[in-house]
């Protein structure tokens, strides 16, 4: 099995050669201003180096402020933001990226994702992201909430394989087909909502927490890691942000990894990428 030295050192090498940390702080629903700034500063102090935001989260300015004020050199941080649905299309995506970049106050964004596969638009949006990467404004480009058929479309159009696909991924939605497709094409899978919106009262997860002397959240995040999936649990509380990073110094048995996988119910807490309207 792959050895993971810690949450804040190293990480998987993406298909474009960039390195992305295994653990990041998600800031969905973190309020613009003091709440998001303080959450990021707390995370950086603990050791986090990856921050995941989006135009649709309406807190990019706060993320940018925290990046400037956190006391860690910019080059040590990995900042992700995303193209919102209303801004999709080629020219509109380029404009939206500039808005995000200015709000963040960054010369270069580490990872830019298409947030959702908007029908009739995501293919042109992907071409815009390919352009931004060629221009050196984005180091890595990827997508979020894309199914295999969406991924195949954009790869066929451009020949450029997304570096990352960020999707809902947790014990009740194990995404086997998508994970297999990602591995076949060297696309790094990243889990949003890894902790199932806090619905961790699953008996097996509770039993394993007792068995390993860990929190239920740490069991789930360790399960992500052992499958090679990046994870970005969201919290604005310093003690929870710290707790969420404590899954690198133990290992789940192969049997327990499989038992968690068998919890799958194809249950989504978020929208279905093939059936959404926003």
Q: Looking at the predicted structure, is the pLDDT value of residue 211 above 50?
A: yes
Question: 5 in a domain, yes or no?
Answer: no
- Check pLDDT > 70 for residue 7: no
Cα Rg of the chain, angstroms: 18
Mean pLDDT along residues 117-142: 98
The 10 Å CB-count burial string (b at 16+, else e) for 169-207 is bbbbbbbeebbebbeeeebbbbbbbbbbeeebebeebee
Average pLDDT over residues 195-203: 94
Asked if 90 is an active-site residue, the reply is no
**8, pLDDT greater than 80:** no
Residues 6+ apart with CB under 8 A from 3: none
Other CB atoms within 10 A of residue 213 CB: 8
Q: Would 231 be classed as within a structural domain?
A: yes
Quick check: is 71 in a domain?
A: yes
Res 4 pLDDT > 80: no
User: What pLDDT, on a 0 to 100 scale, did the predictor assign at position 278?
Assistant: 83
Strand pairing class (78-83; 230-231): unpaired
Mean pLDDT of 234-240: 88
Instruction: Take residue 182 and report the two structure tokens written for it.
Output: 């990602």
Instruction: Say if CB 243 and CB 217 are below 8 A apart.
Output: yes
Instruction: Look at residue 3 and tell me whether its pLDDT is greater than 50.
Output: no
Q: Which band of pLDDT confidence, cut at 50, 70 and 90, is reported for residue 253? A: very high
Supply φ then ψ for residue 129, to 5 degrees. -65, -40
| Predicted local distance difference test score (pLDDT) of residue 30 | 79
Structure confidence at residue 109 (pLDDT): 98
User: Residue 5 — very low, low, confident or very high, per pLDDT cuts 50/70/90?
Assistant: low
What would the DSSP string read from start to end of 13-71? BPTTS-B--SB-EE-TTPPTTHHHHHHHHHHHHHT--EEE--GGGT-HHHHHHHHHHSS
- The number of domains in the chain is 1
Question: Average pLDDT for residues 98-124, to the nearest whole number?
Answer: 97
Residue 109, in any domain of the structure: yes
Strand pairing class (50-52; 109-114): unpaired
How many helices (H) does the chain have, and how many strands (E)?
Answer: 10, 8
70-84, 141-155, 168-182, 230-244, range with the lowest pLDDT: 230-244
Tell me if 225 is assigned to some domain.
yes
What pLDDT is recorded for position 2?
Answer: 43
Q: Which residues is 122 bridged to in the sheet?
A: none
Of 57, 90, 122, 212, the active-site residue reads 57
**Is 11 domain-assigned?**
no
Average pLDDT of span 14-30: 93
Span 44-64, pLDDT tens digits: 999 999 999 999 999 999 999
CATH of residue 58's domain is 3.20.20.100
Instruction: Return the residue matching tokens 């071409």.
Output: 127
| 99 located within any domain | yes
| pLDDT above 90 (res 117) | yes
Domain of 154 in residue numbering reads as 25-261
Kindly tell me the sign of the dihedral angle through the C-alpha atoms of 135, 137, 140, 145: negative
What percentage of the chain reaches a pLDDT higher than 70? Answer: 97
Q: Is the pLDDT of residue 1 over 50?
A: no
Quick check: is 174 in a domain?
Answer: yes
């Amino acid at each position: 099995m792959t050895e993971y030295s810690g949450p804040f050192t190293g990480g998987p090498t993406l298909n474009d050669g960039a390195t992305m940390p295994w653990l990041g702080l998600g800031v969905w629903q973190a309020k613009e201003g003091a709440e998001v700034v303080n959450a990021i500063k707390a995370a950086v102090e603990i050791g986090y180096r990856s921050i995941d935001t989006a135009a649709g989260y309406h807190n990019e300015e706060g993320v940018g402020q925290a990046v400037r004020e956190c006391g860690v050199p910019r080059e040590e941080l990995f900042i992700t933001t995303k193209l919102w649905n209303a801004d999709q299309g080629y020219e509109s995506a380029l404009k939206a990226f500039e808005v995000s970049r200015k709000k963040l106050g960054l010369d270069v964004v580490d990872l830019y994702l298409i947030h959702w596969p908007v029908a009739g638009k995501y293919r042109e949006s992907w071409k815009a992201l390919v352009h931004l990467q060629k221009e050196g404004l984005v180091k890595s480009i990827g997508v979020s909430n894309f199914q295999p058929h969406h991924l195949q479309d954009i790869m066929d159009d451009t020949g450029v394989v997304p570096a990352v696909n960020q999707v809902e991924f947790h014990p009740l939605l194990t995404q086997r087909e998508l994970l297999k497709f990602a591995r076949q094409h060297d696309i790094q899978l990243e889990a949003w909502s890894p902790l199932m919106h806090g619905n961790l009262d699953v008996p097996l997860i509770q039993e394993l927490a007792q068995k390993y002397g860990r929190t239920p959240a740490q069991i789930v995040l360790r399960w992500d890691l052992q499958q090679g999936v990046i994870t970005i649990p969201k919290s604005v509380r310093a003690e929870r942000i710290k707790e969420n990073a404590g899954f690198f110094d133990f290992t789940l048995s192969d049997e327990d990894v499989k038992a968690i996988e068998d919890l799958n119910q194809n249950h989504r807490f978020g929208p279905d990428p093939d059936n959404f309207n926003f």
